[in-house]
Amino acid sequence: MAYILSNKAEEDIIAIFVTGAEQFGLIQAQRYHQQLTTTFEFLSDNPQAAPVREELIPPVRLHPVGSHLVIYQLEDDSSIFIVRVRHAHEDWLNNN
């Protein structure tokens, strides 16, 4: 199966990498980026790994990775659409 990143998710990933490199160094930022990529691949192979959060509009799935949440939707063709990658402690519900 496959995964697709929204433009916002791509921006999130870049920001995570830049911030990580500034705060923790380039090697750690690269490791974390690989951890994100591995998680995206895992979710594309196991799209129902996270339950649907019906209380959210639109309904999405949330899967933790490190300090972040992968926010994604299961598409009709069984691929996943990664909407955002946000920090788990961030008020992402009110900050689209």
Q: Using one digit for the tens of pLDDT, what is the confidence trace for 25-79?
A: 999 999 999 999 999 999 999 999 999 999 988 999 999 999 999 999 998 887 8
At 90 the pLDDT is: 86
DSSP state of 51: -
Specify the fold of 3-89.
Answer: YaeB-like fold (3.30.2310)
Domain boundaries, the chain: 3-89
**Residue 52 and residue 62 in contact, taking contact as beta carbons nearer than 8 Å:** no
pTM score, whole prediction: 0.91
